[in-house]
């Protein structure tokens, strides 16, 4: 379809939040269109089809809550679903709820311009498609804009190279190939053991070692599934009131210092063996706030790594020592450390000896040359802000969003940016984003935005905005919440440290999803405090 159609709402992205936004906003009786860059639905779970890609939150809860029939009928074969199962689920939802007819695929939005005389957004996509809309719902993902470091010589490489999040649909055969993999974050640690199984040789280029816990993925136990399905409503209600939008049972949650060293060890051993992954990080209440408490847990994990890796020198290289556990996103793996016991896997420290260039035949560090047939970039994302800034967004006075965010992103409640009216971000900077379970938190944010749009329409308003003063106040709340934690003590993508030149700002609201919900809701019920409309709007909710 071509031409500049007019819509009430344009949704950018048909990932999990975008799909739900179609379903929810359609019920307001407004005209809408969704533009999606890929040729299918699923967002993160459409793009990230690298070997080993798998969610690290149990699928019974990492799934939609909005339809009881859907959650009762859908079967998750494994606790932690692989990419293919999550993509199949997204397709099922798109078909079951008739969402596909609203989506235009292979339509990557690359221009969003607000026309202040019309109070409408003008949308343009790479394929020439144009449209206008009163409202934009930007559901374009926190981890979408890929980061391929600017190593000199990449264009001269005669082999194949891939970024993990733009993986070919037909897969990549590794048989008989010398593979180099750069990056040991969540993605790299999932890909390494799988690639190692088929590649002739795998060289892993590690700059910073990762803390990783065993995922203990397994086939879904029927009793466990039944317990969820019998209690779905109650558990979802608990998730919507939880700080991480997650369901948690049997929380011990006391300080490390309430226990003797022997008791701590017993608790950590039990948690390690408990087959519940991320709950390990909630063994004690002060892991995220006290460096001393954190060190107890970090040392326990380092000892586990030393036990898993046979070569002591390699084990030491794999032990994270420069930042607290949890200050970077904790990883969950299936046989990652054990992969280094294989004869065909080699670990190279590119912190000590950085990558100097990609050559026609491989890769050169400051001390060594490596012949490679395939290079895998597991080098992450221009996270949280990248998908917005790469869309070339201009607001009032023609101001570019990139200029506005030169010193770091500013938002009001993680949704609105002052001077960019009628634009709502889902999982935007200043929202709980990746620190809450993203499907559930996304559903709540979409509901909140749908409520704002409904209020606007009922009141006959044309413009919703915020003011820099309210962004400043919200940014202070975001900073204060992070200030109590150890999150600022690592060079992570949470603070933009992985992208050269990106301002170092903690971009996520860590005060808890429950508190965040409360803050958003009370601002609306307090007469829309902090929102700026083209004419006053009564407090209807």
Task: With beta carbons less than 8 A apart as the criterion, state whether 397 and 373 touch.
Answer: no
Burial of 26 (0-12, 13-18, 19+ CB in 10 A): middle
* Percent composition of the chain: helix, strand, coil (DSSP 3-state, to 5): 35, 20, 45
Cα separation of 158 and 498, whole Å? 27
The number of angstroms, rounded, from the C-alpha of 341 to the middle of its chain's C-alpha atoms is 31
217 binds ligand NAP (CB under 6 A): no
Beta carbon of residue 398, minimum distance to ligand NAP (angstroms, whole number): 33
Stretch that binds ligand NAP, among 3-11, 180-188, 242-250, 270-278 (CB under 6 A): 180-188
- Reported in sequence order, the residue ranges of 13-59 that DSSP labels E, i.e. its strands, are 32-35
Beta carbon of residue 55, minimum distance to ligand NAP (angstroms, whole number): 5
Which CB sits closer to ligand NAP, 165 or 466? 165
Stretch that binds ligand NAP, among 66-74, 184-192, 290-298, 394-402 (CB under 6 A): 184-192
- Reported in sequence order, the residue ranges of 20-145 that DSSP labels E, i.e. its strands, are 32-35, 103-104, 109-115, 120-125, 130-138
146 binds ligand NAP (CB under 6 A): no
Beta carbon of residue 49, minimum distance to ligand NAP (angstroms, whole number): 12
Which CB sits closer to ligand NAP, 324 or 380? 380
Which CB sits closer to ligand NAP, 49 or 207? 207
Q: Is 225 helix (H, G, I), strand (E, B) or coil?
A: helix
Stretch that binds ligand NAP, among 108-116, 374-382, 417-425, 454-462 (CB under 6 A): 374-382
Nearest to 436 by CA among 250, 215, 241, 235: 241
Residues 333-362 that bind ligand NAP (CB under 6 A): 350, 355
Residues 515-534 that bind ligand NAP (CB under 6 A): none
> Which token pair is 2?
């071509």
Stretch that binds ligand NAP, among 71-79, 306-314, 376-384, 436-444 (CB under 6 A): 376-384
> Which token pair is 258?
């309430």
The CB density around residue 178, as the number of other CB atoms within 10 Å, is 19
Burial pattern 461-476, b for ≥16 Cβ within 10 A else e, equals: bebbbbeeebbeebbe
Stretch that binds ligand NAP, among 182-190, 194-202, 272-280, 476-484 (CB under 6 A): 182-190
Stretch that binds ligand NAP, among 120-128, 176-184, 362-370, 464-472 (CB under 6 A): 176-184
β partners of residue 532? 465
432 binds ligand NAP (CB under 6 A): no
Beta carbon of residue 143, minimum distance to ligand NAP (angstroms, whole number): 5
Which CB sits closer to ligand NAP, 185 or 511? 185
17 binds ligand NAP (CB under 6 A): no
Using the 8-state DSSP alphabet, how is residue 254 labeled?
B
Cα separation of 174 and 197, whole Å? 9
β partners of residue 358? 363
Which helix (DSSP H) or strand (DSSP E) does residue 5 occupy?
A: strand 4-12
496 binds ligand NAP (CB under 6 A): no
329 binds ligand NAP (CB under 6 A): yes
* Cα torsion angle, 225, 230, 233, 236, sign: negative
- Residue from the set 55, 60, 508, 524 that interacts with ligand NAP by CB under 6 A: 55
Task: With beta carbons less than 8 A apart as the criterion, state whether 431 and 150 touch.
Answer: no
β partners of residue 120? 115
- Residue from the set 33, 49, 54, 404 that interacts with ligand NAP by CB under 6 A: 54
Backbone angles phi, psi at 274, to 5 degrees: -80, -5
498 binds ligand NAP (CB under 6 A): yes
Residue in the shown chain whose Cβ atom is closest to ligand NAP? 185
Cα separation of 57 and 498, whole Å? 24
201 binds ligand NAP (CB under 6 A): no
Which CB sits closer to ligand NAP, 182 or 372? 182
Cα separation of 210 and 202, whole Å? 18
Beta carbon of residue 135, minimum distance to ligand NAP (angstroms, whole number): 28
Which CB sits closer to ligand NAP, 273 or 352? 352
Cα separation of 509 and 250, whole Å? 25
Beta carbon of residue 396, minimum distance to ligand NAP (angstroms, whole number): 33
Which CB sits closer to ligand NAP, 48 or 394? 48
Beta carbon of residue 256, minimum distance to ligand NAP (angstroms, whole number): 25
Beta carbon of residue 277, minimum distance to ligand NAP (angstroms, whole number): 10
> How many residues interact with ligand NAP (rule CB under 6 A)?
26
Beta carbon of residue 356, minimum distance to ligand NAP (angstroms, whole number): 11
Cα separation of 40 and 486, whole Å? 38
Task: With beta carbons less than 8 A apart as the criterion, state whether 128 and 2 touch.
Answer: yes
- Residue from the set 61, 190, 394, 411 that interacts with ligand NAP by CB under 6 A: 190
- Residue from the set 104, 105, 132, 149 that interacts with ligand NAP by CB under 6 A: 149
The number of angstroms, rounded, from the C-alpha of 82 to the middle of its chain's C-alpha atoms is 16
Cα separation of 497 and 208, whole Å? 13
- Reported in sequence order, the residue ranges of 145-263 that DSSP labels E, i.e. its strands, are 160-163, 178-182, 201-206, 212-214
Beta carbon of residue 122, minimum distance to ligand NAP (angstroms, whole number): 32
495 binds ligand NAP (CB under 6 A): no
Residues 33-52 that bind ligand NAP (CB under 6 A): none
The residue ranges that bind ligand NAP (CB under 6 A) are 54-56, 143, 149, 182-188, 190, 207-208, 329, 332, 350, 355, 378-381, 434, 493, 498
């Amino acid at each position: 379809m071509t031409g500049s159609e007019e819509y009430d709402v344009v949704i950018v992205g048909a990932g999990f939040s975008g799909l739900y936004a179609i379903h929810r906003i359609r019920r307001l009786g407004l005209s809408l269109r969704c533009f999606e860059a890929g040729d299918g639905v699923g967002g993160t779970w459409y793009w990230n089809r690298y070997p080993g890609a798998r969610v690290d939150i149990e699928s019974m809860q990492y799934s939609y809550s909005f339809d009881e029939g859907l959650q009762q009928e859908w079967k998750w074969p494994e606790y932690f679903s692989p990419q293919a199962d999550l993509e199949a689920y997204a397709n099922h939802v798109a078909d079951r709820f008739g969402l596909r007819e609203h989506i235009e695929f292979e339509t990557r939005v690359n221009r969003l311009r607000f026309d202040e005389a019309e109070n409408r957004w003008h949308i343009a996509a790479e394929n020439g498609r144009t449209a206008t809309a009163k409202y934009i719902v930007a559901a374009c993902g926190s981890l979408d804009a890929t980061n391929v470091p600017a190593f000199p010589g990449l264009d001269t490489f005669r082999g194949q190279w891939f970024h993990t999040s733009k993986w070919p649909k037909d897969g990549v055969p590794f048989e008989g190939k010398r593979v180099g993999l750069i990056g040991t974050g969540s993605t790299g640690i999932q890909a390494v053991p799988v690639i190692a199984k088929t590649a002739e040789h795998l060289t892993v280029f590690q700059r910073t070692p990762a803390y990783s816990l065993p995922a203990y993925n397994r086939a879904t136990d029927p009793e466990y599934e039944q317990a969820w399905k019998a209690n779905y409503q109650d558990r979802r209600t608990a998730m919507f009131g939880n700080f991480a939008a997650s369901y948690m049972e049997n929380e011990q949650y006391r300080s490390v210092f309430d226990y003797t060293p022997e008791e701590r060890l017993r608790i950590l051993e039990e948690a390690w063996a408990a087959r519940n992954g991320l709950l390990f990080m909630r063994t004690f209440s002060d892991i995220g706030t006290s460096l001393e408490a954190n060190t107890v847990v970090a040392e326990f994990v380092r000892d586990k790594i030393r036990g898993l890796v046979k070569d002591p020198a390699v084990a030491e290289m794999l032990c994270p020592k420069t930042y607290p556990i949890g200050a970077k996103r904790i990883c969950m793996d299936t046989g990652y450390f054990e992969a280094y016991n294989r004869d065909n896997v080699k670990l190279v420290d590119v912190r000590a000896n950085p990558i100097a260039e990609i050559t026609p035949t491989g890769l050169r560090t400051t001390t060594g040359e490596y012949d490679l047939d395939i290079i895998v970039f597991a080098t992450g994302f221009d996270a949280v802000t990248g998908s917005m800034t790469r869309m070339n967004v201009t607001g009032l006075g023609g101001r570019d969003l990139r200029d506005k965010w030169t010193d770091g992103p500013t938002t009001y409640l993680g949704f609105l940016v002052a001077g960019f009216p009628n634009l709502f971000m889902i999982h935007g900077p200043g929202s709980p984003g990746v620190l809450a379970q993203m499907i559930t938190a996304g559903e709540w944010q979409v509901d909140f935005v749908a409520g704002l749009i409904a209020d606007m329409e009922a009141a006959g308003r044309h413009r919703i905005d915020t003011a820099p003063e309210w962004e400043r106040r919200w940014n202070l709340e975001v900073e204060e919440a992070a200030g109590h934690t150890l999150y600022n003590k690592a060079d992570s993508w949470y603070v933009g440290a992985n992208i050269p030149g990106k301002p170092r700002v903690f971009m996520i609201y860590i005060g808890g999803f429950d508190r965040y919900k409360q803050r958003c809701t009370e601002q609306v019920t307090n007469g829309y405090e902090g929102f700026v409309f083209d004419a006053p709007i009564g407090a209807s909710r």
